[in-house]
Amino acid sequence: MVSLLFCALLLGGLQVESAPSADEILFLPGLTKQPMFHQYSGYLNVSESKYLHYWFVESQVDPSTSPVVLWLNGGPGCSSLYGLLTEHGPFLIQPDGSSLEYNPYSWNMVANVLYLESPAGVGFSYSDDKNYVTNDTEVALNNYLALKEFFRLFPEYSKNDFFITGESYGGVYVLTLAEIVIEDSSINLKGIAVGNGLTSYESNQNSLIYFAYYHGLLGVRLWSNLQTFCCLKGQCSFYGNPNVNCTERVTEATNIVYNLGLNIYNLYAPCSGGTLGRYEEDQTVIHHSGIPFPKLPAHIQGGEKPLHPVKTQKKMWLELPCINSTASRIFLNNPYVRNALNIPPEAPEWGMFSSEVFEHYGRIVTDMTKQYLKLLSALTYRILVYNGDVDMACNFLGNQWFVDALQQKLQVNRRAWLYNDGNSEQIGGFVKEFSNIAFLTVRGAGHMVPTDNPRAALTMFTRFLKKQPF
């Protein structure tokens, strides 16, 4: 920790007084009218040769008093700009790939939002040596150094309330970063929020089998065999079970979930690009969210090695199964847009998902219990774990089990929470609140909650930031 803070001090040696004018986005193509709020795009140097791209949008209310929120998409290898353009950013990309529409449910309605493309090799982020071998520990450190550099460049925000948020494998990024940030009193951390996050490989895999059966994906014969070979005295283990018969049935079940052609990010949404052909093309990245194959748990002990190595690809980016990022890719690779975002010529072509990063990523942390308990023990941070309830990549049931297993003091029994859909009060989902942590579901939403139910997502986010009852 001493050496880590020393690095941060070196990077923060030069002081500035206000936001860097060279990074300001003065004109963003695709908009019929330019925004009234300020926005910035540039690079945060985390070493002499490694540059993480950021896009910072100021709050549409009062930037000086609004909290600062860091957003991290997951992967590993997914760009946070996809979250900006399709989930909760101030503008949403349109199907033509050239026009933007204002998002009335943008999270910068209530906060200053920092979208960080991490690690290097993701999106517009890069390193001079093009070495994109990394792991959970190094990414946490680099994200921290990027954060320190951000507050050096934007000192006017250094005293604002600060929150770390993310999605999917961002569940690892958020917690490992927070574990470092809580040791730095200069950062005014108030809480974290994780959406459809990876919290535990074991919980995710065990719960997925239940999710699949009770959503009508598994037949009675298969379910009966799973009960016979994977369960003992009412306790089922579908993850790393040494029984070969169990492993075979779990493989059969997960093949239905992943390989049949269902949209794993939203069970009830169509699969962009169709089913069979699409899945043959994208087989290498189908487990990008950190879901282990049934036969691979023993490989977790490999430490620095990626859990799921993928075959070499000619291109540096891939599409995710059932997700069409074509419009975002066309827009962000437009030369006029790159110029507006202050992207230098040496920066890579933008893609939603970096196969280079994914292929060389070392997954070290497989259960986030230690990190959550460390934050909870401080008794000062507000934590929200939320899930769209029809996601199969990181399903709600596994995260519900995970939060319950933290054994925190129950404050509010599980209940429905409400939001206004523009006409009337509707049930947004269900919430269970403990001391300093809440688990919340968003009804009918998948992996990308703000995409599927933007009104409910903004309501949830606002209440979280303002410490209001959900």
Rounded Cα–Cα distance for residues 344 and 101 (Å) = 26
Rounded Cα–Cα distance for residues 122 and 352 (Å) = 8
Q: Measuring CA to CA, how many Å separate 86 from each of 83, 166, 183, 411, 439?
A: 5, 14, 34, 34, 24
Q: Measuring CA to CA, how many Å separate 463 from each of 152, 161, 169, 434?
A: 29, 15, 24, 16
Return the beta strands (E) in 15-169 as ranges. 39-45, 50-57, 68-72, 91-93, 100-102, 112-116, 126-127, 134-135, 162-167
447 part of the active site:
yes
Rounded Cα–Cα distance for residues 91 and 108 (Å) = 10
Rounded Cα–Cα distance for residues 446 and 451 (Å) = 9
| Ramachandran angles phi, psi of 202, nearest 5° | -65, -50
391 part of the active site:
yes
As given in the structure block, the two tokens for residue 272 are: 């962009």
Active-site position among 168, 200, 207, 355 = 168
- Neighbouring CB atoms inside 10 A of 222's CB total 18
Active-site position among 53, 287, 360, 447 = 447
Give the alpha-carbon dihedral of 362, 364, 366, 371, to 10 degrees: -130
Rounded Cα–Cα distance for residues 392 and 179 (Å) = 28
For residue 68, the number of C-alpha atoms closer than 13 Å in the C-beta half-sphere is 22
Return the beta strands (E) in 370-436 as ranges. 382-388, 410-420, 425-434
Q: Measuring CA to CA, how many Å separate 168 from each of 68, 72, 204, 393, 441?
A: 21, 9, 12, 8, 15
Q: Which residues are catalytic?
A: 168, 391, 447
